[in-house]
């Protein structure tokens, strides 16, 4: 079985990246991390990549705060192609992707979000769920399109909201669910991809 080549994009701590790389290391995920890229120069996700000896790089995002400049996005596409990436995995990547990369990797870009989409897209979704008085939230893996936390759903996992939950305690439990769900979904995509070949 040819291993699916992953390109992981992140802007922050990289806990989902670590969960994916650990799953590859233990053999529960039959993919290969080809490159980890970040739009933040000193993002901890790049340190995690180095810890696992995965090629990694910073790419300058340009002047926009919530998306990439077109030339930066074109450069990102080239970096992913050079690394022979099959599937682009967003792991805490805080920018909206547009047509250059969406066209280069159609239905091959996935993201994980800390809510049961379509509920609570955007930042700090666990706080949104608490503020709304929900009794259940969770996490969602979905295909990426041009909108924020939008696109076809692939899988979800529920996390109950406990009566004494704080934003921090709820977020910590959602992250545990994320770290289990994301590698499992990628493994499912690997197996589906292998059947298609």
Looking at residue 94, its pLDDT comes to: 93
5 closest CA partner among 119, 113, 84 = 84
Looking at residue 46, its pLDDT comes to: 98
Looking at residue 193, its pLDDT comes to: 81
- Its pTM stands at 0.96
- Collapsing DSSP to helix, strand or coil, 53 comes out as coil
Lowest-confidence segment of 13-22, 30-39, 66-75, 136-145 by average pLDDT: 66-75
* φ and ψ of 19, to 5 deg: -60, -40
Active-site residue flag, 171: no
Q: Average model confidence (pLDDT) for the chain? A: 95
Query: What separation in angstroms does the CA of 12 have from each of 16, 37, 124, 143, 177?
Result: 10, 11, 14, 20, 18
Q: Which residues contact 150 (CB under 8 A, 6 or more apart)?
A: 117, 118, 121, 142
Residue 42 has pLDDT above 60, yes or no: yes
Break the chain into its structural domains and give their ranges: 4-196
Residue 1 has pLDDT above 80, yes or no: no
**pLDDT tens sequence across 52-61:** 999 999 999 9
Task: Considering the candidates 113, 142, 171, 179, report the single residue annotated as catalytic.
Answer: 113
Looking at residue 197, its pLDDT comes to: 55
- CATH placement of domain 4-196: 3.40.50.170
């Amino acid at each position: 079985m040819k291993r699916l080549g992953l390109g992981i994009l992140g802007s922050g701590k990289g806990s989902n990246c670590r969960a994916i790389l650990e799953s590859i290391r233990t053999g529960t995920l039959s993919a290969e991390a080809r490159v980890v890229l970040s739009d933040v120069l000193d993002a901890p996700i790049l340190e995690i990549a180095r810890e696992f000896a995965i090629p990694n790089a910073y790419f300058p995002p340009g002047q926009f705060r919530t998306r990439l400049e077109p030339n930066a996005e074109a450069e990102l596409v080239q970096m992913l192609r050079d690394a022979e990436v099959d599937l682009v995995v967003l792991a805490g990547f805080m920018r909206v992707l547009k047509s250059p990369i969406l066209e280069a990797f159609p239905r091959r870009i996935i993201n994980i979000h800390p809510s049961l989409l379509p509920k609570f897209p955007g930042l700090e979704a666990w706080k949104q769920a608490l503020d709304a008085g929900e009794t259940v939230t969770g996490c969602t893996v979905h295909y990426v399109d041009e909108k924020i936390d939008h696109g076809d759903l692939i899988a979800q996992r529920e996390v109950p909201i406990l009566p004494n939950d704080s934003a921090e305690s709820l977020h910590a439990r959602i992250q545990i669910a994320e770290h289990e769900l994301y590698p499992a979904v990628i493994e499912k995509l690997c197996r589906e991809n292998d059947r298609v070949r």
